[in-house]
Structure 1
Amino acid sequence: MQRVEYWIGNVVIKYRWLFIFALLSFAIISASGMQFLTFSNDSRMFFSKENPQLQALEALENTYTKVENVLYIIAPKSGNIFEAKTLAAIEFITEQAWTIPFSSRVDSLSNYQHTKAFEDDLVVADLISGAEALNDEAIAEIKQIAITQPMLLNSLIDQKGSVTAVNINIIKPDDGSYKIEEVSKAALALDQLMKDKYPFLDIYLTGGVMIDTAFGEAPVRDMRTLIPVMFALLLFLIIVSIRSIMATVATLLVIILSTITAIGLAGWMGIVLTPASANAPIIILTLAVADSIHILATVFYQMRNGTTRYDAIKGSIKVNLKPVLITSVSTAIGFMAMNFSDVPPFKDLGNIVAMGVMAAFFYSIFFLPSFMAVLPLRVKHNTGKQIRVFTLLADLVIKRRTPIFWSMLVLIIATSAGISKIYLNDEFIKYFDHSYPFRIASDFSAEHLAGLEIIDWDLDSGERGGINDPKYLKTVEAFAEWFRAQPEVKHVYTITDIMKRLNKSMHGDDPLWYKLPEQRDLAAQYLLLFEMSLPFGLDLNDRINLDKSASRMTVSTPNIGTAEILDLERRGREWLQLHAPEMTTYGSGLSIIFSYISKRNIESMLKGSIIALVLISFIMILALRDFKLGILSLIPNLTPAFMAFGIWGIFVGQVGLAVSVMIAMTLGIVVDDTVHFLSKYQRARKEHNMSPEDAVRYVFKTVGSAIWITTLALVGGFGVLSFSSFQINAHMGAMTTITIIFAIILDFFFLPTLLLKLDTKK
């Protein structure tokens, strides 16, 4: 290996201009792929096509209707929606909602299809018409109807009559003509129009379309705010630590080239950016600093000791090639292990960062030394203070090795114990903080109405026209009543409520007949008569399949977490197995898929983490050519992740989608400092024949400053990411930051004391 290191050092110096030109050309060609980058803000991007829960949802949507929605929540400042001016506003927005592109259905208090008897006929009409001319008596009648209808209560109106909703279903054609930006823009325009026209109303805008819009907005926000902050922070750290303008310029070039190379290659590969993968530049910016810092730290260290610039560059390549290669490959393996994830955006994030890390390796080993060889390089001598600080730290660790070792062991055990407090839970609405208007609207909806978390049940009768069978209807009704009795449930929408209302209307609106028809042919006649009376856009295609063999029941809950959603779905399935085994099915919907994805992702990433661990361990043993050191390296590499999870369990507890990839991701990152520490320690022991104590001093003196600087850069980079308004990125940044902090603590205090205890070989 040393021959290779010497040869590379000589070649880099000799052909420096060629390397500079070639690598810049490669970066430009790679970066040109950015023109092919596309972005997806579909919330379903988190699920692979093989995901069984997604397949079940798509099957349900193909049976009924495949829609997204826009939801307006209207809250009069007076606290009463049953006023002429408010009802007129509801009527106005209901009419205007049809102008939103791709709208296929509008449901509101205004166009609720109220049924009543007129002699022997069934009259179906809008609940509200000509609201401005309504008198108090008519409004009182409307209120009485609205607050007693199960289909409206807690869905389109709250129990107090103070909040109402207007829901617009948006159908997504398969011809590719659907543009979410167009729908979102129109929805926001109508929102503003209502606020200007009716200042006495508080209006909130949410729904699936607005959620997807927020998914598109999240990475734009991060790129606009976090990347400049991250870049400024890195620039500050590099200038302060290196104290060389030329070296700072060279390092920034390596960072920029690594980032644009990875993003450009992603474009060439056809990778679609998402809110999760769009933060790859921040991670690459952070990781790319480490290699350059280690190369430059060694160059300056040798030049201060009288070595010429060219020889110092060659010496730096000799000393750092192996550890930089090991750390780059290990980090790339850690991120590539994210391909085991069941979440496509995490796979893309892992692949993009892996490409960036390997690009940073080549730019650091070939471009950076070549560039430094042609720049006027001066050495500042005041950095000797840093060396003295780390020499004193080494002496402290050596002198107090026993108490430090046991203190570190207690810290490891105490923090890792917090893992027992971790529980799996996720709330996809809370992926966004309250800086997003839709999040405020969603929370308001969950507080006053049904919320956005739903479970859909496809209840099959087993025969054509079977939904009219009184036995089937009674089972569905019992199932709905069971759900209504559950504390988590706010609203249940089922065909049986329509059947009971029709039966009542066809018997002269007698309340005693508000029950299910007892004859199949009668139920079929009622339903046919009702469907024939419905206006365009308000049919029952979203409730009943074409041959009327099955119906769809929708259970709505407030914005609860995945654990509660899965538990509710399980209990519902158990009810069916016990009372209607022939109708047993799984609940479906986006809430269910998001609830399952964290669990599935943790299981898949556990396999990926184990494989990454085996590969990294093999690389460490092979590169160090020392089985004991290679196995020993696993302790400071694995332990920080367990400690971070423990701290998370103690102070947060809830683990969601973002945290499920942490072990694999951080495993490759924390290897960096450990590899440099062990490689320098091994060099001191074997090449310089130093004692374990002197070897520890040598490590702190030669690489302590570089480890400290790279750690600051990593903590700064991922710390900045933790301020993202998108929870997945924020949690990823926070957990990685905690892990890296524990990693440097262990590398500076636990690893050297462990080496001093175990390395007794003369």
Structure 2
Amino acid sequence: MTEITAGATRLEQFGVGVLRWRWPIIALTILFVVFMAAGGQNLKISNDSRIFFSEDNPQLIAFEALEATYTEANTVLIAVAPKEESGATSIFTADALGAIAELTERGWLLPYSTRVDSLTNFSHTWADGDELIVEDLVPETGEFSAQDLARVEDIAMSEIQLVNRLVAADGGTTAVLVNFVLPDESAEAVTEISDEVKVIVAEARLAHPELNYYVTGSVITSRAFGDATMDDLATLGPIIIGVILVVMAVLLRSITGTIATLLVVLFAAITAMGFAGWSGMILSSGNVGAPTIIMTVAIAHSVHVISTIMLGMRGGLAKREAILESLRVNFHPVFLTTITTAIGFLSMNFSDAPPFHNLGNLVALGVVSAFVFALTFVPALVYILPLRVRPRREGQSVFFDGFGAFVVRRRTPLLWGMAAIIIGLAAGIPQVELNDNWTKYFDERYEFRRDTDYIINNLTGVEAFEFSLPAGSEGAINDPEYIARVDQFAEWYRSQPKIIHVSAFPDIMKRLNKNMHGDDPAYYRIPEEHDLAAQYLLLYELSLPFGRDLNDQIDVGKSATRMTVVGRDMSAQEQRASADAANQWLKDNMPAEMATEATGLTMMFAYISKRNIEGMLKGTVIAMAIISLILIIALKSIPIGLLSLMPNFVPAAMSFGLWGYMIGNVGVAASVVTAVTFGIVVDDTIHFLSKYLRARRERKLDPQQAVRFAFSSVGHALWTTTAVLAAGFIVLSTSGFEVNWSLGLLTAMTIVIALAADFLFLPPLLMKLDRSKS
């Protein structure tokens, strides 16, 4: 077989050059990092919840078209409920209604607000002879008799447009809903609005201490995305630096080695994030984990270089010769691991979520930077700093000598035992369910999550399906036949599981028809004539106060109406199923022009995993194919190259299966884990096989002896890098943002499983199949 380190003379010359020019290398490295760090001042952070969707995302396009036809869906919902200690169980009290009226008035004063809806200002209609009266449900008198309260409660609890939307079905919670039109620079507007909402809620708590307040809505959701980004930036970086220091100090037991490694990972992270700033890249909650991932992944390069230097010095080499030998034996493996890791992360560009593109590109840049620093800056720095090498310790290489002997001795039961474990864990994959719920992207450390959970459980749902139902021509929404069709669709949806509220145009028309017939309940039905319906609608619109028109439900040409369906506690799979069923119902029962599909923020997130997995499936296949080809070429052995793929394919399958058994639900992060981890876990295989093939080719050892040599040479380094990688991704899993914590935990699981595969599955496989020189 051809030697894997062909071209070693050039590598020796490279090493000699690094040591000769050590001071310029150190100085230029520091200057470069300082320049890149200056780009950090240009970093921009987005709090837009829609940043996870590309410009050509069909759900986003449909939602923006709906907003352009009607009104934008930028909302803040402030829910109000009596405290348990107050003794009240209903919001139909003088104090509660007074508090709601005050919040309603304050809502109009919020920046960029265009509409405020609440129980108190609900447009109640009734007839006075032939005259239609439109007035606020709760008059602005400030005083309420028992009779007034009973009247308000009776009307509100029988109003289909209020119950399970602005008033809970049990009357225990109500809400004020504020709509906004945001400027183009919406990030600042979101912060301004949410800060002002906090002020008015705090004042309301002081004025009405007997009430509890809960805040949610799309504007508050966007603020939560921004808060999650800032929280992760502020907390994850320092934690991972601390983890690196502790783990490296314990495992390397070298101050110089620890300092060199820490500087490399910091330099790599600064380089990538500086590039993000200089290039105008936008940070968001979906890619804010880039520095943590870079610092975690970049460790391996330095660990292999420094570990080999220390191993050589323990073997009697002088520091200079040990550095040169380390560069010679590690250049190709470290170069290969850099390429494979970068390819894995670059495959994230196939994702449908733009933040993942930036995440993949930044980490790939950080990994390449770490490669350059590890093979230039680290040798130069180690050469000028004192490097104290302790005698070989029991429990380090000695342990791996014994472990290698154990694997050789028990190779057959290990091979079949690991095969059984792989099959058993992979069988759990069908238990994994794709379930992206944007309200659960944040854990309970966020007030937004706690408040939203309360509102879901006690007032209304937050899963909204939006339909724009065309009538065919201008003014056609007044056609009784069209109204009847929409009403039929609304009633069908009301009968579906987990649907708690439907807001539809026919509800208004049936109420107006009843009003114009002396409030006779028998006339709560659709007007019988087009002209009559048009007259009722015109009269109603002319009677509505400023800011409470029907533009949120009717388009300008009166050629289409908006129907909003609200679900409660639905999984993404249930949301997709509900939308598909509705679309099929429309196709089966309505004219072709009315067969529109559901849209809205809910539908965008319901399909985010599905669309990302479809994109990443292509990216993963391409990444795996390129990495596999690189391994075969680099190892200069088709059989060994193909054989090396087995322990790299199975870890992701095993971790997903284990996830299926333990947790079940997984979100958008799952779409990128396989490609990302494949590029990472192949690193261990490359280093193990490089040492194995060196033993077979240079030392002419048989497979059993070569396995023991590989364990003795690289076992401790692989254990060290795996420990640090797993620790780093576990740090990412402490994020309060679900996309980051699930990515961190899944990746950590895969990395640990990969080490088990490389230690317990790959060697027995090699010894069984590689018998050419036994």
Q: TM-score, normalised by structure 2?
A: 0.97
1:62 matches 2:73: no
Give the fraction of aligned pairs with identical amino acids, expressed as a percent: 46
Q: Give runs of aligned pairs for residues 181-580 of structure 1, distance below 5 A.
A: 181-383=191-393, 385-580=395-590
| Aligned 8 A contact 2:117 2:176 in 1 | yes
Return the match for 1:32 from 38, 58, 62: 38
Say whether the 8 Å CA contact 1:722–1:731 is kept in structure 2: yes
Cα distance, 1:565 vs structure 2: 0.7
Q: For residue 530 of structure 2, what is the amino acid of its counterpart?
A: R
1:337–1:664 contact (8 Å) kept in structure 2: yes
Q: In 1, are the aligned partners of 2:264 and 2:370 still within 8 Å (CA)?
A: yes
Offset, 1:424: 2.1
Q: Provide the residue aligned with 1:74 in structure 2.
A: 80
- How far apart, CA to CA, are the structure 2 residues paired with 1:383 and 1:118? 96
Partner of 2:751: 740
Contact 1:88–1:130, Cα closer than 8 Å, also in 2: no
Q: What's the TM-score, normalizing by structure 1?
A: 0.99
In the TM superposition, what are the counterparts of 1:638-657 in structure 2 within 5 Å?
638-657=649-668
Q: Say whether residues 1:90 and 2:100 are aligned partners.
A: yes
Report the Cα distance in structure 2 between the residues aligned to 1:406 and 1:247, rounded to whole angstroms.
39
Amino acid at match of 2:63: L
Counterpart of 1:15 in structure 2: which amino acid? W
Structure 1 residue 174: Cα displacement? 3.8
Task: Verify: 1:696 aligned to 2:707, yes or no.
Answer: yes
CA distance in 2, matches of 1:116, 1:137: 18
Q: 1:254 Cα deviation (Å)?
A: 0.6
Match of 1:685 in 2: 696
Is contact 2:157-2:171 (8 Å) kept?
A: yes
Aligned partner (choices 4, 8, 11) of residue 5 of structure 1: 11
Following TM superposition, by how much is the alpha carbon of 1:247 offset from its aligned partner in structure 2, in angstroms?
1.7
Q: In structure 2, what is the Cα distance between the partners aligned to 1:492 and 1:209?
A: 22
Secondary structure of the structure 1 residue equivalent to 2:109: coil
Q: Which amino acid is the alignment partner of residue 771 of structure 2?
A: T
Match of 1:610 among 602, 606, 621: 621
Runs ≥4 residues deviating over 6 A: none
For 2:718 and 2:390, the matched residues in 1 are separated by 19
In structure 1, C-alpha distance between the alignment counterparts of 2:488 and 2:73, rounded to whole Å: 28
Equivalent position SS for 1:32: helix
Q: Which moved more, 1:218-227 or 1:447-456?
A: 218-227
After superposition, what is the alpha-carbon deviation per residue over 1:190-211, rounded to whole angstroms, capped at 9, x for unaligned? Answer: 1111111111101101111111
Of 623-632 and 126-135, deviating more is: 126-135
Q: How far off is 1:26 after superposition?
A: 1.7
2:131 aligned residue = 121
User: Residue type matched to 2:162 in 1?
Assistant: L
- Structure 1 unmatched runs, 5+: none
**Do 1:154 and 1:449's aligned partners in 2 also have CA atoms closer than 8 Å?**
yes
Residue 75 (structure 2) pairs with residue 104 (structure 1): no
Q: 1:319 is paired with a residue of what secondary structure? A: helix
Deviations 1:249-279 (A, max 9, x none): 1111111101100111111222110112111
1:6 shift after superposition: 1.3
For 1:418 and 1:213, the matched residues in 2 are separated by 37
Deviation at residue 131 of structure 1 after TM alignment: 5.4
Q: Secondary structure at the match of 1:20?
A: helix
Residues 643-690 of structure 1 show CA distances to partners (whole Å, capped at 9, x for unaligned) of 011111111222321111110110111011111000011111101111
Report what 1:18 is aligned to: 24
1:177 Cα offset (Å)? 9.0
1-structure distance, mates of 2:187, 2:454? 32
For residues 752 and 619 of structure 1, the distance between their equivalents in structure 2, rounded to whole angstroms, comes to 21
Q: Look up the SS of the partner of 1:277 in the other structure.
A: coil
Letter in 2 for 1:110: T
Report the Cα distance in structure 1 between the residues aligned to 2:141 and 2:393, rounded to whole angstroms.
79
In the TM superposition, what is the alpha-carbon distance from 1:13 to its structure 2 partner?
A: 1.0
Deviates more, 1:425-434 or 1:105-114: 425-434
Q: Does the residue aligned with 1:211 lie in a helix, a strand or coil?
A: helix
1:169 aligns with: 179
Point out where structure 2 has 5 or more consecutive residues left out of the alignment. 1-6
Q: What is the aligned counterpart of 1:676 among 683, 687, 698?
A: 687
The secondary structure found in structure 1 opposite 2:288 is helix
Q: Which amino acid aligns with 2:712?
A: K
Which residue in the other structure is 1:46 paired with?
52
Farther-moved stretch of structure 1 (643-652 vs 708-717): 643-652
In 2 relative to 1, CA 131–139 (structure 1 residues): closer, same or farther, beyond 3 Å? farther
| C-alpha distance after superposition, 1:560-583 (max 9, x if no partner) | 111111111111111111111321
The answer for the alignment partner of 1:667 in structure 2 is: 678
Secondary structure at 1:17's aligned position in 2?
helix
- Measured against aligned partners, the alpha-carbon deviations of 1:424-471 in whole angstroms (never above 9, x if no partner) come to 222111011111111112111111222111000000011110100000
Contact kept, 8 Å, 1:85 with 1:132, in 2: the verdict is no
Q: Which amino acid aligns with 2:695?
A: A
Partner of 1:590: 601
1:617 shift after superposition: 0.8
Q: Equivalent residue for 2:4?
A: none
**Using a 3 Å threshold, how does the CA distance of structure 1 residues 140 and 279 change in structure 2: closer, same or farther?**
same
Name the residue aligned to 1:154: 164
Name the SS of the counterpart of 1:82 in structure 2.
Answer: coil
CA distance in 2, matches of 1:188, 1:492: 30
Q: Say whether 1:180 aligns with 2:186.
A: no
Contact preservation (8 Å) 2:432, 2:666? yes
Q: Give distance in 1, aligned partners of 2:185 and 2:307.
A: 57
1:524-575 per-residue CA deviation (whole Å, 9 max, x = no partner) reads: 1111111111111101001000110000000001131111111111111111
- Look up the equivalent residue of 1:440 and give its one-letter code: R
1:497-527 deviation line (CA, Å, top 9, x unaligned): 1111111111111111111111111111111
2: CA distance, partners of 1:175 / 1:311: 58
Q: Which amino acid aligns with 1:487?
A: P
For 2:379 and 2:720, the matched residues in 1 are separated by 19
Is the contact between residue 330 and residue 616 of structure 1 (CA under 8 Å) also seen in structure 2?
A: yes
Structure 1 window deviating more from structure 2 (175-184 vs 739-748): it is 175-184
Q: Is the 8 A contact 1:155 1:450 kept in 2?
A: yes
Change over 3 Å in CA distance of 1:69–1:249 after alignment to 2: same
- The answer to whether the 8 A contact 2:73-2:218 is kept is no
Three-state SS of the structure 1 residue aligned to 2:289 is helix
Does the 8 Å CA contact 1:91/1:131 hold for their aligned counterparts? no
Q: Distance in 1 between matches of 2:218 and 2:257?
A: 49
CA distance in 2, matches of 1:22, 1:63: 57
